[in-house]
Amino acid sequence: MMFKIGTLADWFGKGIIEGIRESERCGASGVQLYAWNEFDPKNLSAELKREVKETSGECGQEIVALCGELGGHGLEIGSDNPGKIDYLKRVTDLALDLDCRIVTTHIGIVPEDTASEKYRAMREACMAIGSYAAGRGVTIAIETGAEPVARLKTFVEHSGAGLGINYDPGNLVMVTNDDEVAGVKTAGASIVHTHAKDGIMKRYVGPEKVYALFAEGGIEAVRQVSEWHTETPLGEGKVRWIPYLTALRDIGYSGYLTIEREVKENAARDIRMAVTFLKEIISQIEGGKK
């Protein structure tokens, strides 16, 4: 199979250990874990870390990425960044302990004005954590959706080693109204990990408005504004899956499609359906359908 399929263990809603087991049951081969709450490196017990490693091994689940969720405005506010840089460094160290080489994160909105104070603060922070990660063979993968793909690609290239892109087509469709297929070619080799997510934009309000709401109220606040966009099960939104995965294949990407389903109800059911959906689409592409 040209791609590997992963899940985000937390979204099964059964805790991290049972989430890893559910990932195996639904036919995935890897899991991404959130480095928060009890799995925050600052709070993580040696016992839980050992149990996660043992369970993933027993279930044949590769730990494909950790999510270093910064919350708030990401790295947009320079005075807040020392603590966030320290957190991402701890997540990087935890990734290594788990034989994982990718840490995904949201950094806020990269501004168009490269001379702005916000751009400078974000770039300096990313240079610091990127350098730290590169020295340990880890990549910090910044998620798409807060700005056009071309701007993020340029930012990554200008911010030094240890940085890549976590490509999320659902975010592009729902928030930025960016072409999720063309963006793959734009991002190219910078793509080191992807999220398999789908959705529909109902009304374009711009990423500034969406991510400002997210910064203040988290994902719950964004969910409540249903007139902007709706996340859907895979195949029920506007992501063009065959052209999208074909584009990934054509740039040489052969990594994980990690299913993300950010809903409270029926997430586990939708993740299982998504694994089947992706396998069918991949089979069609391998069979020559464009």
pLDDT of residue 47: 98
What Rg do the C-alpha atoms of the chain give, in angstroms? 18
Token pair for residue 289? 């359908």
Strands (E), the chain: 4-8, 30-34, 62-67, 102-105, 139-143, 163-167, 191-196, 198-201, 229-232, 256-259
**pLDDT, tens only, 201-211:** 999 999 999 98
Please tell me which residue, 67 or 290, carries the higher pLDDT value.
Answer: 67
Token pair for residue 217? 């109220």
**pLDDT, tens only, 231-263:** 999 999 999 999 999 999 999 999 999 999 988
**Domain 4-286 class?**
alpha beta
How far apart (Å, rounded) are the C-alpha atoms in residues 113 and 92?
29
pLDDT of residue 52: 98
Q: At which residue do the structure tokens 């937390």 appear?
A: 10
> In the chain, what percentage of residues exceed pLDDT 70?
99
pLDDT of residue 37: 94
Q: At which residue do the structure tokens 């730290």 appear?
A: 132
pLDDT of residue 274: 98
How far apart (Å, rounded) are the C-alpha atoms in residues 21 and 178?
35
How far apart (Å, rounded) are the C-alpha atoms in residues 140 and 159?
11
CB atoms within 10 A of CB 203: 8
Token pair for residue 93? 């160290």
Among 143, 31, 196, CA closest to 98: 31
| Residue 221's pLDDT band (cuts 50, 70, 90) | confident
**pLDDT, tens only, 29-60:** 999 999 999 999 999 999 999 999 999 999 99
DSSP state of 175: I
**pLDDT, tens only, 67-114:** 999 988 999 999 999 999 999 999 999 999 999 999 999 999 999 999
Distances from the Cα of 197 to the Cα of 123, 146, 259, angstroms: 27, 15, 6
β pairing state of 229-232 and 256-259:
unpaired
pLDDT of residue 27: 97
Q: Where are the domains of the chain?
A: 4-286
> In the chain, what percentage of residues exceed pLDDT 90?
90
**pLDDT, tens only, 122-136:** 999 999 999 999 999
**Kind and range of the H or E element at 13?**
none
pLDDT of residue 102: 98
The angle formed by the CA atoms of residues 191, 197 and 199, to the nearest 5 degrees, is 125
* Region for 284 from its dihedrals, namely left if φ exceeds 0, alpha if ψ lies in -120 to 50, beta otherwise: alpha
Kindly tell me if the per-residue pLDDT of 289 is higher than 70: no
pLDDT of residue 207: 93
pLDDT of residue 226: 78
Collapsing DSSP to helix, strand or coil, 114 comes out as coil
First to last CA, the chain: 16
Please tell me which residue, 290 or 169, carries the higher pLDDT value.
Answer: 169
Residue 237 CB-density burial (10 A; 0-12 exposed, 13-18 middle, 19+ buried): buried
